[in-house]
Amino acid sequence: MECLFCKIINREIPADIVYEDDHVLAFNDISPTAPTHQLIIPKKHIATLNDIEEGELALIGRLQFTAAQLARQQGFADDGYRVVMNCNEKGGQTVYHIHMHLLGGRAFTWPAG
Ligand code: AMP
Ligand code: ZN
């Protein structure tokens, strides 16, 4: 398996893991763009948002739920934070294993760049 994030799941390359359960892994982004920048990924390899099937909806909900839990634990849930999923080239996706960015600890502008 050539996928970078599958290698992190399988402990073939190191990551700073902040949460793990049977379905989901979360770790600090190697190149943070906010005081907190974590990636929440399913353990199942799914390449892009376009590849999610109906049977996987609970898994995607778990990514969102984990983001909210991590935000609460780290104390910025009430202040506010941002979650982002980039899809394909124009969406800015660079790793083709779906991941939710959890960004916290500063204010974010809108619209996105
Ligand atoms: P995206 O551009 O949405 O596909 O996001 C990919 C993210 O993965 C980027 O924010 C990268 O900084 C991050 N990233 C790439 N390699 C690693 C790694 N080995 N460990 C942690 N984060 C990584
Ligand atoms: Zn993968």
Is 113 inside a domain boundary? Answer: no
Distance (angstroms) between ligand 2 centre and the Cα of 107 equals 31
Is 109 inside a domain boundary? Answer: no
Q: Has this prediction a pTM greater than 0.85?
A: yes
Span between the terminal Cα atoms of the chain, in Å: 32
Is 112 inside a domain boundary? Answer: no
Confirm if 100 and 85 have CB atoms less than 8 A apart.
yes
- Number of domains within the chain: 1
The reported pLDDT for the residue numbered 48 is 98
Residues of the chain scoring pLDDT < 50: none
Is 110 inside a domain boundary? Answer: no
The reported pLDDT for the residue numbered 19 is 98
Is 90 inside a domain boundary? Answer: yes
Distance (angstroms) between ligand 2 centre and the Cα of 3 equals 5
Is 11 inside a domain boundary? Answer: yes
The reported pLDDT for the residue numbered 113 is 86
The reported pLDDT for the residue numbered 98 is 98
Q: Which residues form the catalytic set?
A: 99
Reported as a single tens digit per residue, the pLDDT across 62-76 is 999 999 999 999 999
What is the domain-level CATH number for residue 27?
3.30.428.10
